[in-house]
Structure 1
Amino acid sequence: MNPLIIVYLLQIAVSPSLQVCSSVPDALDGVWTSTSLETITISSSAMTLSMTKTFHSSLSGSNFECVLNSGTQYVFKMNETVPILSGTLQVYPYGCFDFRQAGTYSYYFYLNSAEEITLGDLRFKAVLSGSVDTITSLTDICDSSTVDTAEFYTMIKSGSESEAISAVQCPDNILGLFQYTYTDQTGTYCESVNTSTVIACSNQSYAELEIDNTGCTTKEPFYSAGGQVGCIANVYKSSTDTYYTSYYNRDTSLSTTSYQFTCVAMQKTSNGTVFLSLMPTDCVSGQSATVMPTKGTLQGATMVLEPTYTCKEKYFAHLQ
């Protein structure tokens, strides 16, 4: 056999199977407002992703290119290095984005990597600048086994917020009129206040909640001053019978106590009582509907909803 052919075959045998990013869906094109990664801009033609959230104060933004993909997972490599450990090392952040379409103009996604302490505990993998050539397979970056069902991020198409909300129905568990009790780290509020209500029957799409706190103004449930929030993504965990829902706040401007997004864990009992735990921006790993969630210094809240009627009961009563 020709010696050159032998060398070539040996190279095939010992070299890793190089993969490349083949495409990014057109539906991801555009500018998106996200929960924790701020403004995300995606180009399907250039196969790039940028976000205003930065990994280091020396950077004005974070720009990535797609380098690998398979199924719903896309590995994006940042095109600049980030100094870590007081500048002694330079790393490229890699993100394994697992995109799931929630509605026409909203997505939820997971970052399928372990938390990286040198990158602010975000689920991006730090690859030393001299080790980039070793990243040849999706499994070099992606590992969904470390990610809990509740740990999803949400993004909504900028300029299409109303359309995004109307396309996603809220979970059946919350489709009704409820009186609520609200608890946070400072105490419990709104007990036995008939005029403090949550309702999801205002329109036939059942895509929005209206929260009336006029009888108990101390707290603003769902971190919304106006009390109008829309469901934009639902994730169900069958093992605990828990819905995780991302809500978008319709307030035209945000106060110091309000947030654009709230993530809620929800469970319903056989008698119709609904338990909620609310976390500003994103849910946290293992979040339970009955336990107040925390992440670092950020503390959430819980609510107990007692039903007056369901949306279906109201609809059928109207027909009679």
Structure 2
Amino acid sequence: MEKPTTKRIWRCVRYYLQLCEAKGDAPDTIINKRAGLSKFFKWCLSRSVYYVDQIDLDLMDDYMHCLNTYRKPLDGKPMTVAVKRGYLTFVKTFVEKLYMKGVLSTNALEHIELPKIGRPLPKAVFTENEIQKILDQALLFGFSGLRDRAILETFFATGIRRTELANLDIEDIDLNEQLVRIRKGKGGRERIVPISERGCEWIALYLSKVRPRIAFLASGSTLFLANNGKRYEPHKLSDMVSRYVKLAGIKRAGSCYLFRHATATTMLNNGADLRHVQEMLGHADISTTQIYTHVSRSKLAEVYGKSHPSALSKQRLF
């Protein structure tokens, strides 16, 4: 690919996104980068900033102020710190890559100070009973419901990400050994995880009774097919899960990640080692997995009841 002959911001953005694609960034990652840089580009136009060599720390201070004062039109709430940091990071890495490729002579944002964020706890951690209610809703919808149940069971049994599930092919599932090979994990990492016998039975039912009804030549070896016979788009999986959460009568919001959270917390509650949960979820850093120790409340309550002097005391006030 050719380097841009102009330093106009959007021409450089297109070049940068081509580099990201060539590097192997996931499609969702590239979509997010494009959206974040598009927001920054439109803001730059409003300030008569047209060229990448005009981007410096003073300009980013103004952009930070813009993000801090922004209010969502639906509820009037500000952006979260994580969202603001994300928007700023898009610009920082964009400028850094242009410097590395020689488009810019200096990296003006090398010393930018990004907002610090903690590690928020996962929201809407569902109980096992709630998960079962969600799973049961799929059976109300005939053959497509059988497919959906197989998808939901796979989410819960493996803790897989939605993009990872969408990318599964038939040969990635070993029903005899009860294993799932995830070829396109986050960061390009591969891993093999176990899947329950129950999950395998639902997949086998789907493969024998449902998939032949919707597959066509272009379906290839894709495991889970949408109604059009093609590979699922990840956001469609989220829409499907959200619909079943509502049908189950659960008032909290939830999508594909609710099964990932449930897998992690349930395993920890039942005594799984943190390292094993890390490997199961495909986390590069164990500190990400440690978040789930904070929401593994039943295990904490059990240990507290057996170890804390106040909990062990039987003294009554009256």
Q: Normalising to structure 1: TM-score of the pair?
A: 0.24
Higher helix share: 2
Higher strand share: 1
Q: Normalising to structure 2: TM-score of the pair?
A: 0.25
